[in-house]
Amino acid sequence: MIFYSSRYPVKRKFDSVKTDFGAFQEGLVTDISIVANIQPIDVSRELSLLPEGADAQDTIVIFSEVKLEPRGQQGKPADYIVVDGSEYEIVSIADFTRSPIPHFKSIGVRI
């Protein structure tokens, strides 16, 4: 159970596929909705989680019960969450599903 949370849209892109004719077909984008708690990043504790060149003001922390796909994870495209009209690419995720309050902690960077 995530406390003080709201519903947010997430864009999930599926892998591109190679057709029978050798051409690549872009993966489909599916819109899903998740319940999440969004917070600004705590730079004093989570500076190492920021990707190279990312600005802390353009970075958010997402707590949810849904696993979001980060960029570069097993070759899959990253998920994007929309918060206040801005899109954030998921760049990392931590699994806390074995804790007393099971959840995932994701880091999103504004694109």
d(CA 63, CA 29): 22
Per-residue pLDDT of the chain (111 residues; tens, 9 = 90+): 556 679 999 999 877 667 777 777 677 889 999 999 999 888 777 766 666 767 777 899 999 999 999 987 566 789 999 999 999 999 999 999 999 999 999 999 999
pLDDT at 26: 72
User: Do the Cβ atoms of 25 and 19 come closer than 8 Å?
Assistant: yes
CATH of domain 6-110: 2.40.10.270
For 91, the token pair is: 């760049």
For 29, the token pair is: 């984008």
* 3-state helix/strand/coil string of 39-92: EECCHHHHHHHCCCCCCHHHEEEEEECCCCCCCCCCCCCCCEEEECCEEEEEEE
